[in-house]
Amino acid sequence: MVLLQIAEPGQSDAPHERRLAVGIDLGTTNSLVATVRSGMAVVLNDELGRSLLPSVVRYTGDGCEVGYEAQAHQTSDPRNTVVSVKRFMGRGLKDIAHRESMPYLFDDAPGMVRLHTAAGPKSPVEVSADILRALRERGEAALGGDLVGAVITVPAYFDDAQRQATKDAARLAGLNVLRLLNEPTAAAIAYGLDNAAEGVYAVYDLGGGTFDISILKLSRGVFEVLSTGGDSALGGDDFDQRIFCWIIEAAKLKPLSPQDARFILSRAREAKEYLTFHGAAPITARLSSGEVVDLTLTTEIFAEITRTLVTKTMQPVRKALRDAKLGVDDVNGVIMVGGATRMPQIQRAVGEFFKKEPLNNLDPDKVVALGAAKQANLLAGNRSADDWLLLDVIPLSLGLEMMGGLVEKIIPRNSTIPIARAQDFTTFRDGQTALAVHVVQGERELVTDCRSLARFELRGIPPMVAGAARIRVTFQVDADGLLSVSAREQTAGVEASVVVKPSYGLSDDEIAHMLKDSLEHSRDDAMRRALKEIQVEAQRLIEAVQSALKSDGELLADDERARIEAAIVALQAAALGENRRHITLAMDTLDADTKDFAARRMDKNIRRALAGRSVAEIAGEESQ
Ligand code: ADP
Ligand code: MG
């Protein structure tokens, strides 16, 4: 017998047995790595004591530089210095806005975008992997050992393709991904546990390139994300851009070279960050063209030229509240996340909107990494006494194509994940042996208005009469938001499945557009749906009657048969039209004309079933 050795409390002097895990905030602008040490989440610094790693990678003939080193070459070597690569994750070339104004050499091959660099072609996954590798090395150096895994954060609105790309990057960097975690949720973990606060919270995350809003409910240590929203093309960078345009205009500059443009842009960013703590920022620069910039930007002008950006963030906030069916007064607190929330006009606007001071006692740059570290610590098995659960949501409904091109929603939008839902379907035709499964995403009623995610076929269904087969279709969305769909025929047990990994996914604009569309068209859609449904119903009735005529036609007199056939033709004609009442009437007629026939068929079938069998036998069968 094997005896288990039990260490005495306080005697376990083997800290290496603690499973080393980190949380990583893989940001558009800056990335961080954090861990839990002695029960406290802490950000791990580089050898110079800096916590942020700029998400910048520069490729040279003999390798790559990451972080501040790479950032220093942004102006002198823009083509090989990749910034904001997160915007390219899981995206095709045509998904990238303003690519003409970017200094990169894009490859126009289909699939995810690629950049030509001095170190060869690089995909966003590879560039992100280089950032993650630097963070992994920082983590291993600080913790003194190999990591068992990492929790990596992604914007709440990342779709399947973007999440998958992030996972691939981590794997490429030699990291074991314990889980992907939504950034605002990570922030809530950092705040929720530290403050043990209960109630409804809004997480307002304005980073360098993305804006996320989440409405969360915290109660007794359980987080639930009630709704999410945002804009993946809005962040601190846009404020830099506004200052940039203001400089060009105020200093009356001629068109700039790419180097000068980058230089002015970095001056714009410095001014923005300076204005957080000062009333006015001096902006001076000498350009390669010989032109000189010497300006002063005041907080008033800055607030004025960025007013529309601030307002723009409030639209998704309102929508997220509506989705959560809550009003401003239901929100107990607002958590500020992301470096750009340091801007006074943002603090002010958010405070005014929610009618309360935003929570900002944790560093808005670090809060996501800290929450991710807590989650990583938990998932690695270093569980503390407080055990908590984490729920995230999916942004758009997932469903299946039904007869007539209608969508049957299986998992509704804003469902918490992980989630699995099954629904039973049946065959439409007698003897049908295959079923086409078409998985779609979106809020509209018709397949053509939704986004196609995947198609597969279930074959080998035993031939049965229409409606007799039972096919169970299961949708499963894992904790990272990845979807798998399977279909199983219950009697023969045949099965088919697919994991949905689209080559590249939806932008927030598309999601917003699809949601807006579904609202605008909901009445229209409902009518079209009702029409399609009745058309499908009519077709089903016609096929059933035709099949009965074939098998039991001898039960009919000639005039009866003629009347039924005429009713079928009338129904076929009505079903081609768009008048629901006509179709219903024609169905009623066919129904009435086949009533006697149906009764006779039933008699015949009962007689056939009972022929030559004892009552006991039949009763025995029934009780089985
Ligand atoms: P991301 O999540 O996109 O990596 P961060 O949360 O690191 O972004 O935020 C980066 C943004 O925050 C940049 O636009 C940066 O200029 C801005 N930022 C950082 N510090 C300040 C500050 N003091 N005032 C205003 N903006 C700031
Ligand atoms: Mg961020």
pLDDT digits (tens, 9 = 90+) for 536-571: 888 888 988 888 888 888 888 899 999 999 999 999
Nearest ligand 1 atom to alpha carbon 86: 3
The alpha carbon of 308 and the centre of ligand 2 are apart by a number of angstroms equal to 21
Sign of CA dihedral 500, 502, 503, 504: negative
Annotation says 86 is catalytic: yes
Nearest ligand 1 atom to alpha carbon 239: 14
Mean pLDDT calculated for residue range 305-323: 96
Question: Does residue 6 surpass a pLDDT of 70?
Answer: no
Residue 535: both structure tokens together:
């058309």
Mean pLDDT calculated for residue range 286-294: 92
What is the per-residue pLDDT for 442? 83
pLDDT band (50, 70, 90) for residue 257: confident
pLDDT band (50, 70, 90) for residue 385: very low
Ligand that lies nearest to the alpha carbon of residue 344, given by its number in the listed order: 1
The alpha carbon of 51 and the centre of ligand 2 are apart by a number of angstroms equal to 14
Annotation says 25 is catalytic: yes
Mean pLDDT calculated for residue range 443-461: 84
Q: Indicate where the chain has its CATH 3.30.420.40 domain(s).
A: 21-235+308-392
Q: Indicate where the chain has its CATH 1.20.1270.10 domain(s).
A: 523-610
Q: CATH class for domain 21-235+308-392?
A: alpha beta
The alpha carbon of 368 and the centre of ligand 2 are apart by a number of angstroms equal to 7
Ligand that lies nearest to the alpha carbon of residue 27, given by its number in the listed order: 1
- Count of CB atoms situated within 10 Å of the CB of 387: 9
Question: Bigger pLDDT: 551 or 326?
Answer: 326
What is the per-residue pLDDT for 13? 38
Q: Indicate where the chain has its CATH 2.60.34.10 domain(s).
A: 394-520
Q: Cβ(29) to ligand 1 under 6 A?
A: yes
Mean pLDDT calculated for residue range 300-316: 97
Question: Does residue 4 surpass a pLDDT of 50?
Answer: no
Question: Does residue 59 surpass a pLDDT of 80?
Answer: yes
The alpha carbon of 50 and the centre of ligand 1 are apart by a number of angstroms equal to 15
Question: Does residue 528 surpass a pLDDT of 70?
Answer: yes
Task: Give the highest mean pLDDT range of 215-229, 288-302, 465-479, 510-524.
Answer: 288-302
Beta bridge partners of 292: 286
Determine the residue of 53, 274, 342, 366 to mutate for testing ligand 1's pocket, defined as the one with the most ligand atoms within 8 A of the Cβ atom.
342
Question: Bigger pLDDT: 296 or 498?
Answer: 296
Q: 314: number of CA atoms within 13 Å, CB side?
A: 16
Q: Cβ(365) to ligand 1 under 6 A?
A: yes
What is the per-residue pLDDT for 161? 84
Q: Cβ(273) to ligand 1 under 6 A?
A: yes
What distance in Å separates the CA atoms of residue 420 and residue 383, rounded to the nearest whole number?
Answer: 26
Q: Cβ(236) to ligand 1 under 6 A?
A: yes
Question: Does residue 440 surpass a pLDDT of 50?
Answer: yes
Nearest ligand 1 atom to alpha carbon 365: 6
What is the per-residue pLDDT for 551? 85
Among residues 205, 231, 443, 593, which one is catalytic?
205
Ligand that lies nearest to the alpha carbon of residue 271, given by its number in the listed order: 1
pLDDT band (50, 70, 90) for residue 523: low
What is the per-residue pLDDT for 609? 58
Question: Does residue 519 surpass a pLDDT of 70?
Answer: no
What is the per-residue pLDDT for 481? 67
What is the per-residue pLDDT for 361? 85
Q: Model confidence over 486-502: pLDDT tens digits?
A: 899 888 888 888 777 53
Helix, strand, coil distribution of the chain in percent, nearest 5: 40, 25, 30
pLDDT band (50, 70, 90) for residue 618: very low
Annotation says 183 is catalytic: yes
Among residues 86, 122, 272, 374, which one is catalytic?
86
Percentage of residues in the chain having pLDDT higher than 70: 86
Question: Does residue 194 surpass a pLDDT of 60?
Answer: no
Question: Bigger pLDDT: 588 or 617?
Answer: 588
How confident is the prediction for the chain on average, in pLDDT? 84
The alpha carbon of 217 and the centre of ligand 1 are apart by a number of angstroms equal to 26
- Count of CB atoms situated within 10 Å of the CB of 12: 10
Q: Cβ(54) to ligand 1 under 6 A?
A: no
pLDDT band (50, 70, 90) for residue 617: very low
Mean pLDDT calculated for residue range 53-58: 97
Query: Tell me, which fold does domain 523-610 have in CATH?
Result: Substrate Binding Domain Of Dnak; Chain:A; Domain 2 (1.20.1270)
Nearest ligand 1 atom to alpha carbon 31: 4
pLDDT band (50, 70, 90) for residue 300: very high
Beta bridge partners of 276: none
Q: Model confidence over 395-438: pLDDT tens digits?
A: 778 999 988 888 999 998 877 777 888 888 888 888 888 888 89
> Cβ neighbours of residue 472 under 8 Å, at least 6 residues apart?
422, 423, 424, 425, 487, 488, 490
What distance in Å separates the CA atoms of residue 186 and residue 151, rounded to the nearest whole number?
Answer: 10
Question: Does residue 386 surpass a pLDDT of 70?
Answer: no
Annotation says 365 is catalytic: no
The alpha carbon of 53 and the centre of ligand 2 are apart by a number of angstroms equal to 12
Ligand that lies nearest to the alpha carbon of residue 371, given by its number in the listed order: 2
Task: Give the highest mean pLDDT range of 94-108, 188-202, 356-370.
Answer: 356-370
Mean pLDDT calculated for residue range 14-28: 78
Nearest ligand 1 atom to alpha carbon 30: 4
The alpha carbon of 182 and the centre of ligand 2 are apart by a number of angstroms equal to 10
State the DSSP H helix or E strand holding residue 411, giving kind and residue range, or none if neither. Answer: strand 406-411
- Superfamily, domain 394-520: Substrate Binding Domain Of DNAk; Chain A, domain 1 (2.60.34.10)
What is the per-residue pLDDT for 619? 42
pLDDT band (50, 70, 90) for residue 234: very high
Quick one: how far is CA 355 from the chain centroid? 30
Q: Are 182 and 225 in contact (CB under 8 A)?
A: yes
